[in-house]
């Protein structure tokens, strides 16, 4: 029994050593350790004689474009091998629950591997399944909608080796882009926000064409299953100080067929993932963004007739809560993570009884009630210092508190998920049926 306990303690110590090494490397400063936690080096990227490259193409109801996209990719393989360090190009199509002829058309190409989801799982889920289906040293993905050219892989791959980068993306915001104006403005804004949070500039954070070193994939986790997969990857690559991301301008054409992107819904997802990921690495800057947004809302409320003194008091309360949540997130990285990858009973109980999404939803519900009470104030002309005014203030204060509490707890969960992925690589090859 003593021998078994000794072996188990040694395994836990080794796991914690890798965990703390990964934490230090990602944040750029020493992580707190318990006594006895070893300081092992973070994993290094492998060097191999061959350089295989797998292109993953997620497809959802792309019968109008998938044939042309696959033809373009297969024809570009020879030039990719001749003009880059790549020795072999493989193609994987992931049919993300299509209900049209996408699967039938893809199966006509004998030189590609196809993976089929019976039900739609999401853009990010399809790409991750494609990564797991192969063991190439380099992986990449591109959209199946005919907007991108396969020969653009050549400058992306060359840039990867020239800059010794981990991720290189094709930047679509250039003179050769036919992107609609609304999406162009949205992508520009998200890229600027991410640049502010990370302190590192990027032109296009949502590009659907990227080449990645396989050894770097686990450092990019966690990544979502939806269309916000791409901005989430950009966030992790920019904010994790071990990783280097570069970009190359690429042509971008009008898509073939109907777009799956919902500008409002997916735009909110993009914004949320940038702020949540930013909270993990730089909660202070994200809190500053929230405070600026709150004062913009206060300006609108002032123009709608709210009393300046009441607004000032409300904004100060909200700003104190935002700053407090930022400090909680910051300290979670530095202190709460000391529990190590194995966790402890207190933390497991906390996660069991306090669900971040539930808390955030309660907060949004209270903010909705505050908005309704405020509307009633405006319509009835009631004094803002009366019962309705006090109710609006209480709902606003409680709503912000619950939302920020949910975000803080979510940050603690992201910390654990991210660094468990660094220890147990989620992108080992799996067998596809």
- Output 385 or 165, whichever has higher pLDDT: 165
What are φ and ψ of residue 91, in 5° steps?
-130, 130
Instruction: Kindly indicate the confidence band of residue 53, based on its pLDDT and cuts at 50, 70 and 90.
Output: very high
Residues sharing a CB contact under 8 Å with residue 345, sequence separation 6 or more, in sequence order: none
Nearest to 115 by CA among 123, 106, 124: 106
Compute the mean pLDDT over every residue in the chain, rounded to the nearest whole number.
74
H or E element in which residue 159 lies: helix 153-162
- pLDDT at site 344: 45
Query: Which tokens sit at 347?
Result: 């933390």
Can you tell me the distance from the alpha carbon of 90 to that of 76, in angstroms, rounded to the nearest whole number?
11
- Domain 52-276 sits in which CATH superfamily? Spore Coat Polysaccharide Biosynthesis Protein SpsA; Chain A (3.90.550.10)
User: In the predicted model, is pLDDT for residue 166 greater than 60?
Assistant: yes
Can you tell me the distance from the alpha carbon of 389 to that of 384, in angstroms, rounded to the nearest whole number?
4
pLDDT tens, residue by residue, 109-146: 999 999 999 999 999 999 999 999 988 999 999 999 88
Query: Which tokens sit at 221?
Result: 């986790």
Q: Are 421 and 221 in contact (CB under 8 A)?
A: yes
User: In the predicted model, is pLDDT for residue 220 greater than 90?
Assistant: no
pLDDT tens, residue by residue, 387-426: 666 677 677 777 777 776 676 666 666 666 665 555 555 5
Query: Which tokens sit at 159?
Result: 């840039």
Query: Which tokens sit at 74?
Result: 């297969």
Rounded to two decimals, the pTM is: 0.66
Sign of CA dihedral 35, 38, 39, 43: negative
pLDDT tens, residue by residue, 28-38: 444 433 333 33
The CA distances from residue 183 to 87, 177, 190, 268, 287, in Å, are 36, 11, 10, 13, 26
Can you tell me the distance from the alpha carbon of 293 to that of 424, in angstroms, rounded to the nearest whole number?
38
Can you tell me the distance from the alpha carbon of 336 to that of 312, in angstroms, rounded to the nearest whole number?
34
- pLDDT at site 347: 45
Q: Are 133 and 113 in contact (CB under 8 A)?
A: yes
Domain boundaries, the chain: 52-276, 282-421
Can you tell me the distance from the alpha carbon of 1 to that of 214, in angstroms, rounded to the nearest whole number?
40
User: In the predicted model, is pLDDT for residue 283 greater than 70?
Assistant: no
- Output 373 or 85, whichever has higher pLDDT: 85
Nearest to 409 by CA among 366, 342, 358, 372: 358
User: In the predicted model, is pLDDT for residue 12 greater than 50?
Assistant: no
- pLDDT at site 310: 63
- Output 247 or 332, whichever has higher pLDDT: 247
User: In the predicted model, is pLDDT for residue 330 greater than 80?
Assistant: no
Q: Answer whether the bond into residue 222 is a cis peptide, omega within 30°.
A: yes
- Coil, strand, or helix at residue 116? strand
In 3-state terms, the chain is what percent helix, strand and coil (to 5)?
A: 60, 10, 30
Residues sharing a CB contact under 8 Å with residue 424, sequence separation 6 or more, in sequence order: none
- pLDDT at site 117: 93
Q: Are 91 and 55 in contact (CB under 8 A)?
A: yes
User: In the predicted model, is pLDDT for residue 68 greater than 60?
Assistant: yes
CA 211 and chain centroid, separation: 16
List helix spans (H) across 48-122.
Answer: 66-83, 102-106
Q: Residue 174 forms beta bridges with which residues?
A: none
């Amino acid at each position: 029994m003593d021998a078994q306990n000794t072996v188990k303690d040694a395994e836990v110590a080794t796991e914690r050593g890798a965990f703390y090494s990964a934490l230090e490397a990602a944040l750029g400063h020493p992580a707190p350790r318990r006594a006895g936690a070893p300081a092992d080096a973070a994993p290094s990227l492998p060097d191999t004689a061959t350089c295989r490259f797998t292109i993953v193409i997620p497809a959802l109801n792309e019968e109008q474009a998938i044939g042309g996209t696959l033809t373009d990719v297969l024809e570009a393989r020879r030039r990719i091998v001749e003009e880059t360090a790549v020795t072999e190009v493989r193609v994987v199509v992931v049919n993300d629950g299509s209900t049209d002829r996408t699967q039938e058309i893809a199966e006509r190409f004998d030189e590609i591997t196809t993976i089929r989801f019976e039900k739609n799982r999401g853009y990010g889920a399809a790409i991750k399944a494609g990564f797991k289906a192969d063991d190439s040293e380099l992986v990449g993905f591109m959209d199946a909608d005919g907007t991108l050219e396969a020969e653009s892989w050549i400058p992306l791959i060359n840039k990867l080796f020239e800059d010794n980068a981990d991720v290189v993306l094709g930047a679509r915001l250039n003179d050769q882009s036919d992107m609609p104006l609304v999406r162009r403005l949205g992508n520009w804004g998200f890229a600027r926000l991410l640049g502010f949070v990370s302190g590192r500039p990027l032109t296009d954070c949502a590009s659907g064409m990227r080449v990645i070193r396989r050894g770097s994939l686990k450092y990019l986790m966690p990544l979502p299953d939806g269309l916000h997969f791409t901005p989430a990857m950009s966030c992790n690559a920019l904010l994790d100080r071990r990783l280097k991301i570069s970009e190359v301008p690429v042509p971008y054409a009008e898509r073939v067929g109907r777009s799956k992107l919902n500008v409002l819904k997916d735009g909110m997802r993009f914004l949320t993932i940038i702020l949540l990921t930013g909270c993990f690495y730089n909660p202070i800057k994200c809190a500053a963004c929230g405070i600026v947004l709150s004062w913009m809302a206060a300006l609108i409320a002032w123009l709608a007739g709210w009393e300046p003194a009441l607004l000032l008091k409300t904004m100060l309360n909200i700003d104190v809560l935002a700053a407090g949540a930022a400090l909680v997130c910051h300290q979670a990285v530095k202190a709460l993570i000391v529990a190590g990858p194995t966790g402890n009973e207190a933390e497991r109980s906390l996660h069991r009884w306090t669900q971040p999404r539930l808390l955030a939803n309660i907060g949004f519900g209270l903010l909705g009630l505050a908005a309704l009470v405020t509307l009633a104030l405006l319509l009835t002309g009631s004094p803002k210092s009366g019962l309705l005014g006090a109710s609006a203030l209480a709902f606003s204060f409680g709503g912000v508190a619950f939302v920020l509490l949910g975000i803080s707890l979510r940050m603690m969960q992201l910390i654990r998920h991210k660094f468990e992925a660094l220890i147990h690589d989620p992108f080992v090859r799996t067998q596809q049926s």
